[in-house]
Chains A and B, each alone.
Chain A
Amino acid sequence: MGLIEEISEFLQKGRSKKIKELVQKALDENMDPKVILNEGLLSGMMIVGAKFKNNEVFVPEVLVAARAMNAGLALLEPKLAEVGNEPVGRAVIGTVQGDLHDIGKNLVGMMFKGAGFEVCDMGVDVGADAFIDRAEELGADVIGMSALLSTTMPQMQECIQRLEERGLREKYIVMIGGAPVTEDFAKEIGADYYTPDAASAAETARNAVMERKSA
């Protein structure tokens, strides 16, 4: 088995230590960090994501794989910056104003990274304009918002309205999620996508960004 395949295999098994070792080894052998990322880490993560979708593995498997990926990324990121790697896309995510629940949003961030995104996590209680300002600053492709309760869901609409007022609506893919959020609500407020879970959020975002970039 080649080193890259090995990285993908061990990532799927969630072996952080092994991943660190192998990524370091690959770097020492002067392998292209982009190849290590795309064909090693990200390909492994995609397989785990697909298995999760098919009920072949469960939440814990995804979590350990993502943790192993983070361990590998920590070593890889400086090198990726050196060679000027372009991520799949850039996403600004956060929990909306008035809302403090971040577990769902954190999972989305984790899965976005696993899909090759550069993620800016703005945390909780994030105002509509704060999302937009940061997205502008980073040249983001996606704005992802999370809300746990119906009392804070209107904040999502607020952000979309502000995007329109500022003439920026078409620039961003707006995605929303959270326990009370539904497909209908997304349509009602004019969001681009709603997904019921973190894994499908990452997949949807990746496809949407790639579609836009190829258009």
Chain B
Amino acid sequence: MKKITEFQIRISPDSVCSMLNADRSLLADEMREELEEMLSEAYERLEPAAYLGFGDTEGFLYGEDQLPGQEALYVICTVGERLSSWSSELFRQGDCVRAMLADAAADNCLFQLDGQLREQISALCREHGRGIRRRLEAPQDAPMRIQKKALDVTGAAQYGIGITEGFMYRPVKSVCQVYLLSENPEENNSEHDCSRCPNTSCRMRRSPGDVTEPSVTVITGEGQRTLPFVRGKIILEILRENGIYIAALCSGRGTCGKCRIRVTEGTLPVAAEDRLFFEEAELEAGFRLACTAFPEGACTVLIPDLAEEKEFYVPDIGGKETAADWPDRTQEGKGSEEAALKRDGRAAACEAAPGRGGGVNAGEYGIAVDIGTTTVAMQLIDLRSGKIMKAHTALNIQRMYGADVIGRIEAAVKGSAGELKECIRQVLQSGVDSLTEGGHVPVSRMVIGANTAMVHLLMGYPCESLGIFPFRTYNIQRIETAWDSLSGQKGLSFPVRICPGVSAYIGGDITSGLYALGFHERERVSVLIDLGTNGEMAVGNRERILAASAAAGPAFEGGNLACGTGSIPGAVCHAAWKDGTLCVETIGGEEPTGICGTGILEIIACLLEAELMDETGRLEEPYASEGFPVDEQGRIRVFQKDIREIQLAKAAVRAGLETLLDEYGTAIDEVDEIFLAGGFGYELDIGRAEAVGLLPAGCAGRVRAAGNTCLKGAAAGLLDGESGKTLDYIAGLVREIPLSGNPKFSELYMEYMCFGEEE
């Protein structure tokens, strides 16, 4: 018998809110705010405990589980009475909102307890000279009365765990698991075996690994493939396992509606989620979401083309010449791309002394790479002139495991690490093929800048500790490797350098960006804001740099917006009132096709100005229910939910920036230059950004659009023989200020949730 009370529980607002389906609701942010206000009391009420004991299984098991002399480890864990009963108390007080949040928060704690026990359970069994054959849970895998047995075996009753005549525990947020032991200490099946669970509609169901006969035929733009599958598997999983790309921004939770497929032969049952995204006629035409489609037998499905994915964000990174134009290796680089590279002091310095310390030979080329969560950008650089010869951008097809870093980490931990690694290798390989004309251009080195999670997935590092508090990394040092070992292909090879990072959330992409902008050489304090899928920020100079990462989400890149799009031709990028009508401009002056990050900010500034939206972000009717029409036909609209997305993102960025400035002991007025990185920065009207409160007032004149600073840093790193040491130096200069759980940040976050300057 053993009692464990040491746990590190961090209630995850994301998980709690998604348990209440809040991520689909306009009130998502309000729910989150309420939850944040509840957290300190939740932790105060939480009294986690687990009781463990070994025992027999007499009378409980049937069939193949019933082996002679079967032994089991019984585990009861609980979050304690005070957290358990909180929901009921709140219900009695009439606050059903907080009551539901309290209930979901308690469940979230319970899941974490279970997760954190896993290792100790395996260790305890090993000590005992046993492995784990199977995990049972009542009532799915064993009768409820096994919970009484568990109570007796673990002795949990003496610690106040009660049981009812229906074999339920008191406190109500207590659960029981029974681990059947195995003679083989190496066996470790401590996960619940979903394949034998009768609850087939469970959202957390994982599918088994064995293969049976039926197959699904998949038609993509590239052709047709027939894939065998296991019953109980969803289409999305089948596609992922076979490396067929489909966007699943919500990681397959049925909430984003992006993984549209169409069944053309055979049938796929209509899921509840399908009804949220498809009209009756579309359902009849065979449209389904891949993430909720369980094939029952053979069927044929159509996957829409990659190009149709609207929010595919392609930043312009130069290098538009075709191969025929560029082998002019004698010419001193005077092209516009080179000028773009030059704008940022660092690269210019490198370019001024070609081959400095690196022993670069004429005619050698390097490849600079930015592995972003959404896109991968690559450039072929002439190492002698510093000129960008060719560029390549591609979607990071890991998106089929989720739009954000968290979704990918979760997928990796759940066993898809190999597939994720393969995804990014594929993307890099086709980039190298394209830049080198299939290996005909001699490449002598590559520098990669990427966030910490992308590096972990690329290198195949374990990601377990990356996604959970306290967010430990496996390795964030600079990595020196070679292309053949990275790509897994024999033949073409050259050294590859991966920029060092600072922490789980401040990665090599930021180090690379700071390097590109020469922060480590600056005397005056400057600011870097990188508005990608995560909003990273840094404040500092050559003496010290503070950095933070705020969960901004993809809204600034046009993601998660009903009519959102990347910065592509036709994207609405500017808006202004003219005689009472909203006039919009699009990129390239084309017919509007969607709204990009700058566009939505400007529209919001206009709505605020015309008082069609109040400072809390609430749209006036009828726009709150119908959306505000942006184009003449009203096809493109801004919905209340879009405004919420931007509101959350801008509050996170602004509060993060202010927290950093405060920690640094400086004020925005003292700052020399403010670099806005990411495609977003290019078109941004600074006055408008100030009007909605994304940037503090008075920034205009000091804000610089810096473009893809990570890629620029990688390119500069190719040219600078000392870049390895310099990058290490910068990584050492940076200190991360954690924002989650930071009271200053939380306070500011609430404050900046409203639009307009400080009321």
The reply to whether B275 and A55 form a contact with Cβ atoms under 8 Å apart is: yes
The reply to whether B91 and A101 form a contact with Cβ atoms under 8 Å apart is: no
Binary per-residue interface labels of chain A (92-127) against chain B in the complex, 1 for a CB within 8 Å, 0 otherwise: 000001111111001101100000000000010100
The reply to whether A98 and B164 form a contact with Cβ atoms under 8 Å apart is: yes
A-chain residues with CB within 8 Å of residue B96 when the two chains form the complex: 63, 66-67, 70, 106-107, 110
For the complex, give the distance between the alpha carbons of A107 and B88 in Å: 11
The reply to whether B144 and A151 form a contact with Cβ atoms under 8 Å apart is: yes
For the complex, give the distance between the alpha carbons of A103 and B27 in Å: 21
- B22 on interface, CB distance cutoff 8 Å: yes
The reply to whether A55 and B97 form a contact with Cβ atoms under 8 Å apart is: no
The reply to whether B21 and A99 form a contact with Cβ atoms under 8 Å apart is: no
The reply to whether A61 and B172 form a contact with Cβ atoms under 8 Å apart is: no
Known: A59-B100, A106-B88. A100 touches B30 (CB 8 A): no
Q: A interface, how many residues as a size bin?
A: 20 to 34
Q: Which residue of B lies closest to A103 (CB)?
A: B103
- A57 on interface, CB distance cutoff 8 Å: yes
- Partner of A100 from B21, B91, B172 at Cβ < 8 Å: B172
CB contact list, A37-86 vs B, under 8 A: 55, 57-61, 63-64, 66-67, 70-71, 73-74
Q: Which residue of B lies closest to A113 (CB)?
A: B94
For the complex, give the distance between the alpha carbons of A60 and B165 in Å: 34
A-chain residues with CB within 8 Å of residue B266 when the two chains form the complex: none
- A149 on interface, CB distance cutoff 8 Å: yes
- B477 on interface, CB distance cutoff 8 Å: no
B-chain residues with CB within 8 Å of residue A149 when the two chains form the complex: 139, 144, 166, 168
- B25 on interface, CB distance cutoff 8 Å: yes
- Partner of A71 from B28, B94, B100, B276 at Cβ < 8 Å: B94
The reply to whether A60 and B97 form a contact with Cβ atoms under 8 Å apart is: yes
- B167 on interface, CB distance cutoff 8 Å: yes
- B235 on interface, CB distance cutoff 8 Å: no
CB contact list, B489-548 vs A, under 8 A: none
Q: Which residue of B lies closest to A63 (CB)?
A: B97
Q: Which residue of A lies closest to B17 (CB)?
A: A60
A-chain residues with CB within 8 Å of residue B276 when the two chains form the complex: 55
The reply to whether A103 and B87 form a contact with Cβ atoms under 8 Å apart is: yes
Known: A100-B172, A106-B99. A59 touches B166 (CB 8 A): no
- A14 on interface, CB distance cutoff 8 Å: yes
A-chain residues with CB within 8 Å of residue B22 when the two chains form the complex: 58-60
- B651 on interface, CB distance cutoff 8 Å: no
For the complex, give the distance between the alpha carbons of A150 and B28 in Å: 34
The reply to whether A98 and B166 form a contact with Cβ atoms under 8 Å apart is: yes
- A152 on interface, CB distance cutoff 8 Å: yes
B-chain residues with CB within 8 Å of residue A103 when the two chains form the complex: 87, 99-100, 103
Query: Taking each of B25, B28, B169, B170, which has the highest tally of chain A beta carbons within 10 Å of its own beta carbon?
Result: B25
The reply to whether B103 and A97 form a contact with Cβ atoms under 8 Å apart is: no
The reply to whether B165 and A97 form a contact with Cβ atoms under 8 Å apart is: yes
The reply to whether A99 and B28 form a contact with Cβ atoms under 8 Å apart is: no
For the complex, give the distance between the alpha carbons of A70 and B25 in Å: 21
The reply to whether B88 and A67 form a contact with Cβ atoms under 8 Å apart is: no
Q: Which residue of A lies closest to B276 (CB)?
A: A55
- Partner of B168 from A59, A74, A100, A107 at Cβ < 8 Å: A100
Query: Taking each of B25, B96, B167, which has the highest tally of chain A beta carbons within 10 Å of its own beta carbon?
Result: B96
Q: Which residue of B lies closest to A153 (CB)?
A: B166
A-chain residues with CB within 8 Å of residue B317 when the two chains form the complex: none
- B20 on interface, CB distance cutoff 8 Å: yes
A-chain residues with CB within 8 Å of residue B103 when the two chains form the complex: 103
Q: Which residue of A lies closest to B621 (CB)?
A: A9
- Partner of A61 from B25, B94, B99 at Cβ < 8 Å: B25
The reply to whether A151 and B139 form a contact with Cβ atoms under 8 Å apart is: yes
B-chain residues with CB within 8 Å of residue A66 when the two chains form the complex: 96
The reply to whether A60 and B21 form a contact with Cβ atoms under 8 Å apart is: yes
- B360 on interface, CB distance cutoff 8 Å: no
A-chain residues with CB within 8 Å of residue B27 when the two chains form the complex: 14, 60-61, 64
- B95 on interface, CB distance cutoff 8 Å: yes
- Partner of B166 from A63, A64, A99, A102 at Cβ < 8 Å: A99
The reply to whether B88 and A102 form a contact with Cβ atoms under 8 Å apart is: yes
B-chain residues with CB within 8 Å of residue A57 when the two chains form the complex: 25-26
For the complex, give the distance between the alpha carbons of A209 and B103 in Å: 31
For the complex, give the distance between the alpha carbons of A73 and B95 in Å: 13
Q: Which residue of A lies closest to B103 (CB)?
A: A103
For the complex, give the distance between the alpha carbons of A100 and B174 in Å: 11
Query: Taking each of A71, A123, A125, which has the highest tally of chain B beta carbons within 10 Å of its own beta carbon?
Result: A125
The reply to whether B31 and A101 form a contact with Cβ atoms under 8 Å apart is: no
- Partner of A99 from B26, B31, B94, B168 at Cβ < 8 Å: B168
| Shortest distance from the beta carbon of A111 to any chain B beta carbon, whole Å | 10
For the complex, give the distance between the alpha carbons of A63 and B28 in Å: 12
For the complex, give the distance between the alpha carbons of A150 and B752 in Å: 49
Binary per-residue interface labels of chain B (541-560) against chain A in the complex, 1 for a CB within 8 Å, 0 otherwise: 00000000000000000000
| Shortest distance from the beta carbon of A59 to any chain B beta carbon, whole Å | 5
B-chain residues with CB within 8 Å of residue A60 when the two chains form the complex: 20-22, 25, 27-28, 30-31, 97
| Shortest distance from the beta carbon of B63 to any chain A beta carbon, whole Å | 19
Binary per-residue interface labels of chain B (92-112) against chain A in the complex, 1 for a CB within 8 Å, 0 otherwise: 001111011001000000000
B-chain residues with CB within 8 Å of residue A123 when the two chains form the complex: 88
CB contact list, B62-111 vs A, under 8 A: 87-88, 91, 94-97, 99-100, 103
What are 22 contact pairs spanning A and B, CB under 8 A? A55-B275, A57-B25, A58-B21, A59-B22, A59-B25, A60-B21, A60-B25, A67-B95, A67-B97, A70-B95, A98-B165, A98-B166, A99-B166, A100-B164, A100-B168, A100-B172, A103-B99, A106-B96, A107-B100, A110-B96, A149-B166, A149-B168
Q: A100-B170, A155-B166 are in contact. List 15 more A-B contacts (CB 8 A).
A: A55-B276, A59-B21, A59-B25, A60-B21, A64-B30, A74-B94, A97-B166, A100-B169, A103-B103, A106-B91, A109-B91, A125-B164, A149-B144, A149-B166, A149-B168
Closest 4 A-B residue pairs measured CB to CB?
A: A98-B166, A70-B94, A152-B166, A58-B25
